Amino acid sequence: MSAAEKMSRRDEMETLLPFYLNGSLEGSDLEAVEEWLATDPAALAALGEAEAEFSSTAAANEAIRPPADALSRFARALDAEAGPAPAPAASSWLRQAWNRFTAVPVGVAWAAAAALLALVVVQSFMQPSGKGSDFEIAGQEDDLAKMPFALVKFKPDARMSDIAAFLGQNQLKIAGGPTVDGVFRLAVPAKTAADYEKLLGLIAAQPFADAVIEGRKPVDGG
Amino acid sequence: MTAATETDRALVDRVAKGDRAAVRLLFMRHHARVYRFVARQTGSEMMADDIANEVFLELWRQAPGFEGRSEVSTWLLGIARFKALSVLRKRKEEWIDDDDAAQIVDGADTPEVVIMKEDKGAALRRFVDALPEEHRTVIDLAYYHQQSVTEIGEVLGIPVATVKTRMFYARKKLGEALKAAGYDRGWP
């Protein structure tokens, strides 16, 4: 018989009291302690003693104060372990919109076609036209990068001719993409936020547009 | 679900996916208790600082393997206990055994002097601190960390019956120390 088995009922109850106080006791042990507390006059005094131990133990622990800079030092150790943290996203709403946006499935065939479309549109934009002998490709790229833009995804069954015609009519330029998810960055030639939103509404209304989200809007008055 | 209400287990799931914000949240929730646990184990706050940090780095590493069989707090205390023991063994520090601990209460001050200096609560705190490490640990885990008998067994890697036995003797020693200091609580 083990030492635990040899315990008297009082010993057993005294052993369980700390667990009764911390709320972790259950089942037959809980019933036994509650029955003891209800029937033995010495039990309530014992419970008071255990409560005093509880308080003293808590005080002894709480007296130990962790260093105030523990979290910052841990963050540095974590970065050393896992590498530098990725740059923070622009904003939560943009991140959520992007996640929804890229969650739209894209057919492999369309992704390939989209890449081809991007090549065709950008090349046609960047090639000098008949009277554009002074055309500067680098300058045009810079301009595109500085322009307001939107992120657009086309439907897998969209026709390239429809898209190209729409872009041309509205002076929209493909400035980047497609990503692996078939997302294009579309330069939007809008001078005001109102113009920008109007154009985005127009794009979104096209039957070939699968999803459109705002990118950089023009600053009004600028 | 907001971060404030997100469960520890949900946060560990996020950590398993490489979410550093989640591990920082868990750090903020549990670091103080882990730190105190290790400080009480080792008697060194410097050691506690290093080990507590390591515990949360271990959480970062082991999160993908966490199966949720125990509470996250129990899991962390188990890691802390293992690391504390490893460090102590490396440093060849000796645990206080029961015989040594029995002498602590009869230290420089007689019980009468102790009672003059301290009220009962302070005396009890002193006696808890003076318990042998294996007894004080079960007292700390039950009263401060609010662990169940089973969870203490998991943290310490001992059977439930042993947890109860240690608790019995821990409380018995406290009773004897109190009695020696003039506080007779009727048990043992």
Please write the tens of the pLDDT for every residue from B66-108. 988 899 999 999 999 999 999 888 876 454 444 444 444 444 5
Residues on chain A touching B121 (C-beta within 8 angstroms): 52, 55-56, 59
Contact B125 A56 (CB under 8 A): yes
Do B8-90 and B98-180 fold alike per CATH?
A: no
Residue A165's pLDDT band, with cuts at 50, 70 and 90, is: confident
Contact A78 B60 (CB under 8 A): yes
Residues on chain A touching B143 (C-beta within 8 angstroms): 18, 21-22, 53-54, 57-58
Residues 6+ apart with CB under 8 A from B28: A71
Burial of B112 (0-12, 13-18, 19+ CB in 10 A): exposed
For the beta sheet containing A209-214, the strands, ordered from the edge strand earlier in sequence to the opposite edge, are A173-176, A183-187, A149-154, A209-214
Contact assessment for residue B96 and residue A24, using Cβ atoms and an 8 Å cutoff: no
User: What sign does the dihedral A93-A98-A99-A101 (CA atoms) show?
Assistant: positive
Q: Model ipTM?
A: 0.80
Contact assessment for residue A150 and residue A186, using Cβ atoms and an 8 Å cutoff: yes
Residue ranges per structural domain of chain B: 8-90, 98-180
Confidence (pLDDT) at A168: 82
- Residue linked to tokens 């009727």: B186
Beta strand pairing status for A173-176 and A209-214? unpaired
Fold of B98-180: Arc Repressor Mutant, subunit A (1.10.10)
Taking CA atoms, A110 is separated from A97, A139, A156, A171, B91, in Å, by 22, 31, 5, 23, 65
Residues 6+ apart with CB under 8 A from A112: none
User: What sign does the dihedral B135-B139-B144-B149 (CA atoms) show?
Assistant: positive
Write the CATH number of the domain with boundaries A92-128+135-214. Answer: 3.30.70
Contact A24 B45 (CB under 8 A): no
**Overall CATH class of domain B8-90:** mainly alpha
Please write the tens of the pLDDT for every residue from B27-54. 999 999 999 999 999 999 999 999 999 9
Please write the tens of the pLDDT for every residue from B101-155. 444 444 455 555 555 546 888 889 999 999 999 999 999 999 999 999 999 999 9
Contact A74 B45 (CB under 8 A): no
pTM of the model: 0.59
Q: Rounded to whole angstroms, how far apart are CA atoms B148 and B155? A: 10
Contact assessment for residue B33 and residue B146, using Cβ atoms and an 8 Å cutoff: no
